[in-house]
Amino acid sequence: MDYKQYIAQKLKIEGVSEDEIAAAIALPPNSEMGDYALPCFKFSKILRKSPVIIAEELKAGFMTDDIISEVSAVNGYLNFKINKSGLADSVLNKILNDGEKYGSSDMGAGKTICIDYSSVNIAKPFHIGHLSTTVIGGALYKIYKFLGYNVVGINHLGDYGTQFGKLICAYKHWGNKEDVQKGGIHAINDLYVRFNNEADEQMESEAREYFRLIESGDREANELFEWFKELTLEYVKKIYEKLNITFDSYAGERFYTDKMQPIIDELNNKGLLKESNGAKIVDLEPYGMSPCLILRSDGASLYATRDLAAAVYRKNTYDFYKCLYVVAYQQNLHFKQVFKVLELMGKEWAKDLVHVAYGMVSLEDGAMSTRKGKVVWLEDVINKCVDKAYTIINEKNPDLDNKEETANLVGLGAVIFGALYNNKIKDIVFSYDKVLSFEGETSVYVQYTCARANSVLSKCNAAFTVPGGYKPNKEESEVIKALGSFPETVKDAAEKYEPSYIARYAVDLAQKYNKFYIDCKILTAEGDARDFRLSLTKATLLTLKNALTLLGIGVPEKM
């Protein structure tokens, strides 16, 4: 149940919508005050009254019920208390009933969200720098689906540019079919790196010619290009499968080759296209930005030109409600420019484009990723995490069945969770030991809690009926409250484009459950207490699983 929405719907404030009220409701710093609080100063201006008076008036008009049992007005805050035994009944019954659907909603029905994420570059390494966009985008994809939106996952492939000319040139000089077929993306990357290290003027000029040949539709050049593309996609798709990532479209930059001219014409007709040193630009100086480059002086299009075409294409094709771009903050200016140009073109939907920016990931031993070839491949990070997970599990529980499968779930979960746990804009340093810790704020800890709950449940044969009117103790109440706030956490995560909310939620719920587990008897309790605690355990397991599933993380039965 979404309590904020429930409370908001019972409060009527003139000139303020229900959603705005719900958004203003917060958790009070001290749970003695109440379970939720509405700071009334937010409405002082619109109501022309002091917060104290607003709180008093709202309190007078608020009818308590079996969900909200108490309301008080203190210093301009309106505090609400939830009926604990009624809450426990309703939360547990709801979770046990809804199961895998608990936390889902149909709020997105009829709306389409496009998510541009992962967006790999063909023939270039899929490295640790791509981890965040892949897992943040992948989680948002699942979260929005869970909320009933129609979601279109788009991998805006980097498959356009002069590097393909270089690659073909390098292949012609140094490569051969067997090696590339066998070595796949690594062989291609080696060729590219070798080109950057060794190519002379002669080869540079050949490379430009090969690029021109791709552009002009030359058969051989295009076959080679398509082959490199296929090998790259084959490779990344295996990683996507491991990370539970899916796409509905792989329309990359090349796809827009024939879709840019109409945009350029439109810019021209609207008087937005300016000449500058032979290049064509849109002047953005009045908006405090450098110009958006549309065509280079040699007539070649740019990254931004293709993004303009892509945005228009997506609007026409999907009629999106929102289009998200999960791309590193290094591209802040690029997206600001592109969105501004679309706005200047009169596309009222430009306001629905969102750059979901995130910070950098580096490893503890320093940064990586140079054109000269020193990169950390994401695949290696994944493999190392899975190997380390195996070692840890083997030490802790040598007799466990399916050790390999468990290590897979634990290792992959750690990679994903490690990249998701922090507020997305923060730069993070990825540490194998940290993400694989059983005690820290990790997926391993959450998975271990699930295994613990599973083990309790496997030792009993309960029907999981929630005893009516049971008065939960403090530890139980804390778990119930956390359980009850899952739906609003999912919504908040979607609204703020922050899967980290769900990651943090999972750790918080696991901590509360573990406190309960340590302080209260479960299997050896009696009567209503036993029934209640078993239901609580089952509901916690279901909810933790739902949370991890939204992040793309699986849950082993035992650990």
CB of 508 to ligand ARG, least distance (A): 32
- Sequence letter at residue 437: S
Give the residue with the Cβ less far from ligand ARG, 303 or 464: 303
- Selected catalytic residue, list 124, 166, 315, 538: 124
Question: Quick one: 305 or 535, whose CB is closer to ligand ARG?
Answer: 305
Pick the catalytic residue from 127, 242, 355, 388. Answer: 127
- 310 or 382: CB nearest ligand ARG: 310
Residue closer to ligand ARG by CB (options 312, 509) is 312
Per DSSP, 158 falls in state B
Closest residue by Cα to residue 84 from 3, 9, 142? 3
Name the minimum Å distance from CB 125 to ligand ARG. 11
- The rounded distance, in Å, linking the Cα atoms of 435 and 442 is 6
Quick check: 67 and 90 in contact, CB under 8 A?
yes
C-beta of 358 vs 513, nearer to ligand ARG: 358
* Cα–Cα distance measured from residue 91 to residue 483, given in angstroms and rounded to the nearest whole number: 7
Least CB distance to ligand ARG at residue 116 (A): 5
Name which of 129 and 472 has its Cβ closer to ligand ARG: 129
Q: Would you state the structure tokens that stand for residue 182, as one six-digit string?
A: 């066998």
Closer residue to ligand ARG (CB): 192 or 325: 325
153: amino acid identity, one letter: G
Active site residue 130: yes
Instruction: Give the Å distances, CA to CA, from 430 to 136, 264, 362, 363, 416.
Output: 15, 43, 6, 5, 11
Report the interface residues with ligand ARG, using CB under 6 A: 116, 119, 121, 156, 158, 307, 310, 325, 327
Q: How far is the CB of 327 from ligand ARG (least distance, A)?
A: 5
Residue 376 C-beta: closest distance to ligand ARG, Å: 15
- One of 10, 42, 81, 130 is an active-site residue; which one? 130
For the bound state, the minimum distance from the C-beta of residue 383 to ligand ARG, rounded and expressed in Å, comes to 22
In 10 A of CB 234, how many CB atoms?
A: 11
Contacts of 425 (CB under 8 A, 6+ apart): 329, 357, 358, 359
Note if 81 is an active site residue.
no
Q: Cβ-count burial of 356 within 10 angstroms (0-12 exposed, 13-18 middle, 19+ buried)?
A: buried
Helix/strand number for the chain, H first, E second = 21, 12
Nearest distance, CB of residue 296 and ligand ARG, angstroms: 18
- In this structure, the number of other CB atoms found within 10 A of the CB of residue 329 comes to 15
Catalytic annotation present for 334: no
Alpha helices in 354-442 (DSSP H): 378-396, 403-420, 432-435
What CA dihedral angle connects 251, 254, 256 and 261, to 10 degrees?
Answer: 180
Helices (H), 246-359: 261-269, 303-318, 332-344
Residue among 257, 255, 253, 387 nearest 307 (CA): 253
Catalytically active residues, by annotation: 124, 127, 130
